[in-house]
Structure 1
Amino acid sequence: MKTSRHHTLQDQTYDTLRQWLTIGRFVPGERIKIRHVAAELGVGEMPVRSALQRLAAESALVNVPNCGVTVPHLSKAQFDDVLRVRLILEGQTAELGVPHLTAHDLDTLETLNAQMAQALRSADAKTYLDANEAFHLILYRAAGSPLLLELIETVWLQVGPISNLLFGEALFADTLNEAHDDLLTAAKARDAAGVRRAIERDLNHAAKCLREQCL
């Protein structure tokens, strides 16, 4: 029982840190302080250390000599590569998911879209990014492909840490939700191709800002 609990605690810690990276809780160049993370999660340092090493093995974090585990910076070439992969994976997965969206899914998408719009008006980056992740996951889960979803979430690890930088320019941030409005309209019309175009527009629009933050 003790071994099982220990394993579960490590997995839970890993899942939480992975999600934090995905939604931009940490920023590029930031050193992850094990003691602080352990205190915030209410766990010992060992599960945190284990989770950080797993994430480093996935290239989501890097081990820096005499510094510890830090969040990597993306080069522009790396960002361009990630964007190409995201356009393929997320566009295809969203398109596949449209026919399977339920009425409840569409209602939830509309609620999340409204939350994102309000978050932008109040400059609440955390609420926006949380709602944005949930919005996209509804679309991608509807495709019914665990493998595609796993690939998407792995790619998100690469760009999550720079996502907060979307909010550095107010005029740019004000336009972040426009593609979601179009996507919601297309989804309600069961226009799978229209949803894919909206996803591609969303990713390309954010990329205009984020690429400038890369090395």
Structure 2
Amino acid sequence: MTDTSSSTTLQDNTYATLRQWVSVGKFLPGERLKIRNVAQALGVGVMPVRAALLRLAAEGALTHSANKGVSVPSLSKAEFDDVLQNRLLLEGEAAERGALRMGADGRKLLADLVTAMERALAANDAKAYLDANEEFHVRLYRAAGSPMLMTLIETVWLKVGPLSNQLFDDNPDSGVLNDAHTDMMKALENGDAAGVRRAVERDLFVAGQFLRSRCTQ
């Protein structure tokens, strides 16, 4: 007899992992996702992977066609502009709310992540920087105490995630990427929630201008 609950849990876990992979840019724009290769990377069977990929395609995070299978969409500049505008609205709001609610322990964790990003930039370690950057923003936004707002942010991240790994590809401004985080910490320590919001918006805008250049016409 098949354990339905175990099967459902495996499908949900597979979906959650793949959704996170898309949002952090593990897959590149235009990349075709071969189900067997993805299943091997996850250490699961092809069925939960197929179900997860189709679910992500239904959400617009991936594209699916009978001829090409499942692939990562490439954003046009107009599509990217729309995504960026929504990120500025949603993440700016979450940052300001999070700043108002975050305590000393939370600020200390964010300060440690800023240090980790600075070290990653010095070592030219793009993965370490992006990992610390994601954790920084997630912790700040979750401090806002709004699960709905966080869900909306994560949905938007699915759209832009595949571009994020290109942030260090011949980017002349990569050395200053952490400046906005330093400004966020100063604003946090001063109790300036509006200043945190402005710093987050500047962070998104600066990175966004480079990533926009990587979009299709």
Aligned counterpart, 1:79 = 80
Please give the alpha-carbon distance, in whole angstroms, between the structure 2 residues aligned to 1:207 and 1:113: 19
Name 1:137's counterpart in structure 2. Answer: 138
Counterparts of 2:23 and 2:48, CA distance in 1: 19
The question of whether the paired residues in 1 share the 8 Å contact of 2:171 and 2:210 is answered with no
Report the equivalent of 1:149: 150
Distance 1:29 1:65 in 2: 16
Task: Calculate the aligned-residue CA RMSD, in Å.
Answer: 1.1
Task: Tell me the alpha carbon deviations over residues 78-117 of structure 1, each in whole angstroms, 9 at most, x when there is no partner.
Answer: 0010111111110011101112112111111011111111
Q: Is the 8 A contact 2:63 2:70 kept in 1?
A: yes
Task: Measure how far apart 1:41 and its partner are.
Answer: 1.1
Which deviations, in whole Å up to 9, do the C-alpha atoms of 1:117-139 show, x marking residues without a partner? Answer: 11122222221111111100111
Counterparts of 2:84 and 2:106, CA distance in 1? 26
Unaligned runs of 5+ in 1: none
Trace 1:2-151 onto structure 2 (pairs within 5 A): 2-151=3-152
Distance 1:64 1:172, change over 3 A: farther
Secondary structure, in 3 states, of the residue corresponding to 1:174?
A: helix
Q: Which AA in structure 2 matches 1:14?
A: Y
Give the structure 1 partner of residue 180 of structure 2: 179
Q: Which residue of the partner structure matches residue 213 of structure 1?
A: 214
Read off the aligned partner of 1:197 and give its amino acid letter. R
The residue type equivalent to 1:34 in the other structure is: I
Q: Which runs of 5+ in 2 are unaligned?
A: none
Kept in 1, the 8 Å contact 2:72–2:162? The answer is: yes
CA contact (8 A) 2:33 2:70 kept: yes
Three-state SS of the structure 1 residue aligned to 2:9 is helix
**Which residue identity lines up with residue 163 of structure 2 in the other structure?**
I
Identity of aligned residues (%): 58
Corresponding pairs, count: 215
Distance 2:129 2:54 in 1: 29
- TM value normalised by structure 1: 0.97
> How far off is 1:170 after superposition?
4.7
| Larger proportion of helix | 1
CA distance in 2, matches of 1:170, 1:87: 22
Distance, in Å, in 1 between the alignment partners of 2:204 and 2:28 is: 19
What's the TM-score once normalised by structure 2's chain length?
0.96
- 1:214 alignment partner, SS class: coil
For 2:159, the equivalent position in structure 1 comes to: 158
CA contact (8 A) 1:166 1:172 kept: no
Distance of 1:117 and 1:143 partners within structure 2: 25
